Amino acid sequence: MPEIRELIQEGKGKRVYATDDPDLAVVYYKDEAMAFHGLKRGRIIGKGEVNNAICEHLFTLLREHGVENHFVRQLDARQSLVLRCEMMPFAVKVRNRVAGSMHVRTRLPVGMKLDEPVLEFTLKDTDMEQDALVNHTHLYAMKAATPQELEEIRRVSRQINAILSEYMREINIELIDFKVEFGRYKGKILLADEISPDTARFWDSKTHEPLDIDRFRRDLGDVAEAYQEVLHRMMGTGF
């Protein structure tokens, strides 16, 4: 068990700590919830434990399908050990249907199925009220990634979308969109951060009810129950 050291980063749903091993970090998943860039805050009881379990599940699934990622192992109900990456300063959003900021930006109707997945890059750690949407040339100008790295990130993001969409379909959940982050680790690009109802839109396949953070954002109620339901369906697959 590595010794936990200083806080490296605190996000809306988790804290990341250094350890006495420079190659490893510990992620602590919080119950706190945040939306609209911090304008709305609250607490979803049990969310930290559920997200820790969902991340273990999805990172393991992705690794089995060839997507290298930072996950090492769960330490306890709320904490996991991960490889300590040098995080890229941008996130990737992948969308299969129109929702959220894509609706605001394009005015396409919420729920419209996209003929092919839409990929977006947004900058992290800005103090803007909206996620700053950028294209590949901005990222080159910022020296945030090389063309080869970005090509790899695009390829892996599409692969993650294909793997997760198919897996979620089996448990009657439609993957509407998600956000992922990548980091560099010993010369490789690794999927890092988290994939959970905090960072993805999961709709029940039949009813199209959201089973994710949108329940909190939009005051739809039963937020903790929706997170539990996602985990319950994943566990039911026996994977």
Residue number closest to ligand C5P, CB atom: 100
Asked whether position 213 contacts ligand C5P by CB under 6 A, the answer is: yes
Report how many residues bind ligand C5P under the rule CB under 6 A: 13
By CB under 6 A, the residues from 102 to 141 that bind ligand C5P are 102, 131
Measure CA 144 to chain center.
20
Helices then strands, each counted (H, E), the chain? 6, 13
Asked whether position 223 contacts ligand C5P by CB under 6 A, the answer is: no
Residue closer to ligand C5P (CB basis): 37 or 232: 37
Sole window of 62-70, 73-81, 99-107, 139-147 interacting with ligand C5P (rule: CB under 6 A) = 99-107
Asked whether position 99 contacts ligand C5P by CB under 6 A, the answer is: yes
Residue closer to ligand C5P (CB basis): 84 or 201: 201
Q: Which one-letter amino acid corresponds to residue 157?
A: S
Asked whether position 201 contacts ligand C5P by CB under 6 A, the answer is: yes
d(CA 187, CA 69): 13
Asked whether position 92 contacts ligand C5P by CB under 6 A, the answer is: no
Q: Is-contact 179 118, C-beta < 8 A?
A: no
d(CA 35, CA 19): 29
Asked whether position 84 contacts ligand C5P by CB under 6 A, the answer is: no
CB atoms near residue 124 (< 10 Å): 15
Residue with tokens 């040339």, as numbered in its chain: 137
Half-sphere exposure of 151 toward its Cβ, with a 13 Å CA cutoff? 3
Q: Coil, strand, or helix at residue 37?
A: helix
Site string for ligand C5P, 150-189 (x = CB under 6 A): ---------------------------xxx----------
Residues lying near ligand C5P in the complex (CB under 6 A):
93, 99-102, 131, 177-179, 199-201, 213
